């Protein structure tokens, strides 16, 4: 979008989306706002059964899915614009990225629309393990190319995300006098954590992406005078060489002699896509045209890229404006000038992509 009115419309889009609270599971209002905006700008738009805001433009043989998410973590940040900064929960993670997708597709010229079908999906519940919106979408579409809406910086291209496994550990024991022999429920839970952390330390690679990262996410103990209960949640970020199934098996083996009960959730396999394909080439050219130097990245978190990778084995890149270091923070904000550049990059890349693939 190079025309000033179009640029202001794109900014109004992201400001409007960020102004609507949409904690995971409560996305209906922002989905309606986005569907209405897309309808008014030439999309065939609707809200699907998962609550996703879906808009399509174009009718060509190539199918390009632009999958973002419109939910946020909790934590209210007063929505405001200060200078060129838009403050608000979701401005970076990741309404800014999805709105950039929508604004770019709205700006595509007719030749691009004749060459491809562009499907923008604002997915629900990405910030919680269900990933409801993405899991619904992967059953409905068979794309040739995929863009994932996550903050990479306007000149960044994210090729991969680490996997994940969450262990829920519980210890219940009869109460006893602290002067007696034996271990408390808290002792056993602590021992379980020490063993998990030691196992993770033995799987260190050359960088964070190739290392198992273990985090103690929660810890609690209580007693009713008759029994003790200790509970903990251990989070694991997994490199490509360690699958969630392998990690779960290893933890069960290492904790087998402790009186703990285990359950696991959040099984996501790490993914890393190739650097060179039609999608990355088109984006690299567009970034250079805007005066930037393309930078390839891999991330230690997870995203909907992990969810769709096995079902959609096609060229895939995560892209979007914003600094991911601001994700989930009280200072979350999006540089609107960077947002403008991301929209311009996407518009040029998608236009070029249709010509290159055709």
CATH class assigned to 163-268: alpha beta
Q: Give the pLDDT score at 1.
A: 42
| Model confidence pLDDT, tens digit, residues 71-109 | 999 999 999 999 999 999 999 999 999 999 999 999 999
CATH number of 4-161+270-357: 3.40.630.10
Residue 2 has pLDDT above 50, yes or no: no
Q: Reduce the secondary structure of 273-308 to three states and give it as a string.
A: CCCCCHHHHHHHHHHHHCCCCCEEEEECCCCHHHHH
Is the model's pLDDT at 357 over the cut of 90? no
pLDDT single digits (tens) 49-79: 999 999 999 999 999 999 999 999 999 999 9
**Which tens digit of pLDDT belongs to each residue from 260-279?**
999 999 999 999 999 999 99
d(CA 44, CA 56): 5
pLDDT at 253 over 50: yes
Answer yes or no: pTM beyond 0.75.
yes
- What's the confidence (pLDDT) of residue 171? 97
Cα torsion through 322, 32, 266, 74, rounded to 10: 60
Residue the block writes with tokens 């909790």: 74
The rounded radius of gyration (Å) of the Cα atoms in the chain is: 23
| pLDDT single digits (tens) 128-169 | 878 999 999 999 999 999 999 999 999 999 999 999 999 999
Does residue 301 carry a pLDDT above 70?
Answer: yes
pLDDT value of residue 358: 55
The pLDDT tens digits of the residues spanning 206-239 come to: 899 999 999 999 999 999 888 999 999 999 999 9
Q: Average the pLDDT over each of 111-115, 125-129, 278-282, 297-301 and give the range with the smallest value.
A: 125-129
Tell me the C-alpha distance between 16 and 149, whole Å: 18
Is the separation of the CB atoms in 157 and 297 below 8 Å?
yes
Q: What is the mean pLDDT of residues 296-307?
A: 95
**Whether the predicted pLDDT of 4 surpasses 80:** no
Res 56: pLDDT: 99
Cβ atoms of residues 121 and 67 within 8 Å:
yes
For residue 133, give the nearest of 75, 73, 43, 71 by alpha carbon.
Answer: 71
Alpha carbons 267 and 247: distance in angstroms, whole number: 10
Active site residues: 71, 126
Give, in order, the Cα–Cα distances in Å from 272 to each of 142, 195, 200, 309. 20, 29, 21, 9
Q: Look at residue 321 in the predicted model and tell me its pLDDT.
A: 99
pLDDT at 322: 97
**What pLDDT is attached to residue 179?**
62
Domain residue spans in the chain? Answer: 4-161+270-357, 163-268
pLDDT for 177 equals 62
180 has a pLDDT exceeding 70: no
CA distance 303 to 308: 9
Q: Is there a contact between 104 and 9 (Cβ–Cβ < 8 Å)?
A: no
Mean pLDDT of 14-33: 98
| pLDDT above 50 for 300 | yes
């Amino acid at each position: 979008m190079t025309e000033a009115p179009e640029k202001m419309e794109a900014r109004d889009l992201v400001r409007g989306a960020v102004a609507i609270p949409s904690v995971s599971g409560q996305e209906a209002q922002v989905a309606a706002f986005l569907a209405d905006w897309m309808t008014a700008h030439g999309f065939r738009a609707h809200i699907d059964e998962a609550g996703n805001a879906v808009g399509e433009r174009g009718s060509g043989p190539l199918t390009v899915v632009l999958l973002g998410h419109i939910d946020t973590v909790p934590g209210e940040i007063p929505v405001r614009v200060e200078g060129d900064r838009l403050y608000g929960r979701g401005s970076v993670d990741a309404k800014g990225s999805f709105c950039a997708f929508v604004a770019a597709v709205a700006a595509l010229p007719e030749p691009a629309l004749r060459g491809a079908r562009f499907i923008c999906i604002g997915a629900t519940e990405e910030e919680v393990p269900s990933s409801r919106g993405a899991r619904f979408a992967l059953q409905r579409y068979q794309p040739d190319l995929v863009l994932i809406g996550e903050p990479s910086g306007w000149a960044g291209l994210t090729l991969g995300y680490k996997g994940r496994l969450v262990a829920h550990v519980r210890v219940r024991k009869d109460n006893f006098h602290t002067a007696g022999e034996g271990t408390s429920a808290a002792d056993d839970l602590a021992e379980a954590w020490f063993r998990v952390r030691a196992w993770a330390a033995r799987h260190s690679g050359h960088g964070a992406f190739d290392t198992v990262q273990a985090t103690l996410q929660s810890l609690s103990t209580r007693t009713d005078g008759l029994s003790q209960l200790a509970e903990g949640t251990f989070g694991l970020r997994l490199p490509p060489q360690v699958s969630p199934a392998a990690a779960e098996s290893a933890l069960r083996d290492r904790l087998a002699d402790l009186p703990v009960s285990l359950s696991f959730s959040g099984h996501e396999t790490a993914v890393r896509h190739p650097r060179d394909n039609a999608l990355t080439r088109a984006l690299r050219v567009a970034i250079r045209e805007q005066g930037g130097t393309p930078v390839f990245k891999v991330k230690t978190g997870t995203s909907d890229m992990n969810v769709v990778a096995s079902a959609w084995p096609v060229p895939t890149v995560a892209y979007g404006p914003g600094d991911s270091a601001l994700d989930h923070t009280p200072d979350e904000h999006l540089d609107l000038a960077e947002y403008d550049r991301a929209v311009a990059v996407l518009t040029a890349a998608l236009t070029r992509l249709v010509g290159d693939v055709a």
